[in-house]
Copies of this chain bind each other. A is one copy, B any other.
Amino acid sequence: MAGNLKAEIEAANVNFMRCFDGGDFDGLSMLYTEDCKLMPTGSATLIGREGVKAVFSSAYNGGAKKVQLTVAEVGELDANFEMAYERSQYIFFKEDGTEADRGKYVVIWKKVEGKWYLYTDIFNTDLK
Protein backbone atom coordinates (compact mmCIF):
# COMPACT_ATOMS: atom_id res chain seq x y z
CA MET A 1 0.00 0.00 0.00
CA ALA A 2 2.71 2.49 0.98
CA GLY A 3 4.54 1.86 -2.28
CA ASN A 4 1.44 2.63 -4.31
CA LEU A 5 0.67 5.60 -2.11
CA LYS A 6 4.15 7.09 -2.59
CA ALA A 7 3.82 6.72 -6.36
CA GLU A 8 0.38 8.35 -6.29
CA ILE A 9 1.61 11.30 -4.20
CA GLU A 10 4.70 11.72 -6.37
CA ALA A 11 2.46 11.80 -9.43
CA ALA A 12 0.34 14.50 -7.77
CA ASN A 13 3.53 16.42 -6.98
CA VAL A 14 4.49 16.36 -10.67
CA ASN A 15 1.27 18.26 -11.35
CA PHE A 16 2.15 20.74 -8.59
CA MET A 17 5.65 21.33 -10.03
CA ARG A 18 4.28 21.66 -13.56
CA CYS A 19 1.73 24.28 -12.48
CA PHE A 20 4.24 26.26 -10.41
CA ASP A 21 7.00 26.19 -13.03
CA GLY A 22 4.46 27.30 -15.64
CA GLY A 23 3.19 30.14 -13.46
CA ASP A 24 -0.29 28.57 -13.55
CA PHE A 25 -1.63 29.52 -10.13
CA ASP A 26 -5.27 28.89 -11.01
CA GLY A 27 -4.25 25.37 -11.98
CA LEU A 28 -2.11 25.07 -8.85
CA SER A 29 -4.98 26.13 -6.62
CA MET A 30 -7.20 23.47 -8.18
CA LEU A 31 -4.82 20.81 -6.88
CA TYR A 32 -6.01 21.79 -3.38
CA THR A 33 -9.41 21.02 -1.87
CA GLU A 34 -11.89 23.87 -1.90
CA ASP A 35 -11.61 24.03 1.93
CA CYS A 36 -7.81 23.70 1.95
CA LYS A 37 -5.68 25.12 4.74
CA LEU A 38 -2.42 26.77 3.66
CA MET A 39 -0.09 27.59 6.55
CA PRO A 40 2.72 29.88 5.39
CA THR A 41 5.31 31.48 7.66
CA GLY A 42 4.40 35.05 8.57
CA SER A 43 0.65 34.64 8.19
CA ALA A 44 -2.26 33.03 9.97
CA THR A 45 -3.69 29.91 8.29
CA LEU A 46 -5.30 30.73 4.94
CA ILE A 47 -8.47 28.81 4.12
CA GLY A 48 -9.41 28.19 0.51
CA ARG A 49 -7.84 28.30 -2.95
CA GLU A 50 -7.45 32.09 -3.13
CA GLY A 51 -4.77 31.83 -0.44
CA VAL A 52 -2.91 29.25 -2.51
CA LYS A 53 -2.94 31.54 -5.55
CA ALA A 54 -1.77 34.52 -3.49
CA VAL A 55 1.09 32.78 -1.67
CA PHE A 56 2.59 30.89 -4.60
CA SER A 57 2.17 33.67 -7.17
CA SER A 58 3.90 35.96 -4.67
CA ALA A 59 6.81 33.50 -4.38
CA TYR A 60 6.96 33.27 -8.17
CA ASN A 61 6.88 37.02 -8.66
CA GLY A 62 9.52 37.28 -5.94
CA GLY A 63 11.95 35.30 -8.06
CA ALA A 64 11.24 31.58 -7.48
CA LYS A 65 10.60 30.25 -10.98
CA LYS A 66 10.97 26.50 -10.46
CA VAL A 67 10.15 24.16 -7.59
CA GLN A 68 11.50 20.70 -6.86
CA LEU A 69 9.60 18.43 -4.44
CA THR A 70 11.26 15.34 -2.98
CA VAL A 71 9.17 12.94 -0.91
CA ALA A 72 10.80 11.75 2.31
CA GLU A 73 7.85 9.75 3.60
CA VAL A 74 4.16 9.09 3.02
CA GLY A 75 1.66 7.36 5.28
CA GLU A 76 -1.93 6.28 5.19
CA LEU A 77 -4.18 8.08 7.63
CA ASP A 78 -7.63 6.64 7.36
CA ALA A 79 -9.35 3.30 6.98
CA ASN A 80 -10.82 4.09 3.55
CA PHE A 81 -7.46 5.00 2.01
CA GLU A 82 -8.86 8.47 1.39
CA MET A 83 -6.47 10.45 3.57
CA ALA A 84 -2.70 10.40 3.67
CA TYR A 85 0.19 12.48 4.92
CA GLU A 86 3.37 13.42 3.13
CA ARG A 87 6.62 14.66 4.72
CA SER A 88 8.91 16.12 2.10
CA GLN A 89 11.55 18.64 1.12
CA TYR A 90 11.25 21.53 -1.32
CA ILE A 91 13.76 23.62 -3.22
CA PHE A 92 12.85 26.79 -5.11
CA PHE A 93 15.18 27.82 -7.92
CA LYS A 94 15.67 31.24 -9.48
CA GLU A 95 15.61 31.85 -13.21
CA ASP A 96 19.41 31.47 -13.31
CA GLY A 97 19.17 28.04 -11.67
CA THR A 98 20.52 29.10 -8.28
CA GLU A 99 18.52 28.27 -5.16
CA ALA A 100 15.97 30.82 -3.97
CA ASP A 101 14.98 28.79 -0.90
CA ARG A 102 14.98 25.27 0.50
CA GLY A 103 12.88 23.81 3.23
CA LYS A 104 10.43 21.13 4.29
CA TYR A 105 6.71 20.55 4.48
CA VAL A 106 3.95 18.27 5.65
CA VAL A 107 0.85 17.88 3.50
CA ILE A 108 -2.37 16.12 4.50
CA TRP A 109 -3.88 14.74 1.30
CA LYS A 110 -7.55 13.90 0.70
CA LYS A 111 -8.71 11.57 -2.07
CA VAL A 112 -11.90 12.84 -3.70
CA GLU A 113 -13.52 10.70 -6.41
CA GLY A 114 -10.27 8.84 -6.94
CA LYS A 115 -8.03 11.90 -7.14
CA TRP A 116 -5.62 13.20 -4.46
CA TYR A 117 -5.97 16.86 -3.41
CA LEU A 118 -3.81 18.83 -0.97
CA TYR A 119 -5.93 19.56 2.10
CA THR A 120 -3.48 21.05 4.61
CA ASP A 121 -0.05 22.33 3.56
CA ILE A 122 2.46 23.66 6.10
CA PHE A 123 6.07 24.44 5.25
CA ASN A 124 9.08 26.37 6.49
CA THR A 125 12.57 27.21 5.33
CA ASP A 126 15.72 25.35 6.35
CA LEU A 127 17.68 28.60 5.97
CA LYS A 128 18.68 30.77 8.92
A-B CB proximity, top 9 nearest: A76-B78, A41-B124, A124-B124, A79-B79, A106-B122, A42-B128, A44-B126, A39-B104, A106-B106
Dominant secondary structure of chain A at its interface with chain B: strand
Q: How many angstroms between the C-alpha atoms of A86 and B122 in the bound complex?
A: 12
Q: Closest chain B residue to A37 by CB distance?
A: B87
Q: Is the CB of B108 within 8 A of A120?
A: no
**Oligomeric state, in copies:** 2
Q: How many angstroms between the C-alpha atoms of A3 and B59 in the bound complex?
A: 38
Q: Which of A82-121 contact B (CB under 8 A)?
A: 83-85, 87, 89, 104-106, 108, 120
A72 close to B (CB within 8 Å): yes
A77 close to B (CB within 8 Å): yes
How many A residues have CB within 8 A of the partner chain?
A: 32
A13 close to B (CB within 8 Å): no
The listed residue (B39, B76, B77, B108) touching A124 by CB distance below 8 A is B39
Q: Is the CB of A40 within 8 A of B75?
A: no
Q: A77-B83, A106-B108, A122-B123 given. 19 additional CB < 8 A pairs?
A: A37-B73, A39-B87, A39-B104, A39-B124, A41-B124, A42-B124, A42-B126, A43-B126, A45-B87, A75-B78, A75-B83, A77-B84, A78-B78, A79-B79, A85-B108, A87-B108, A87-B120, A106-B122, A122-B124
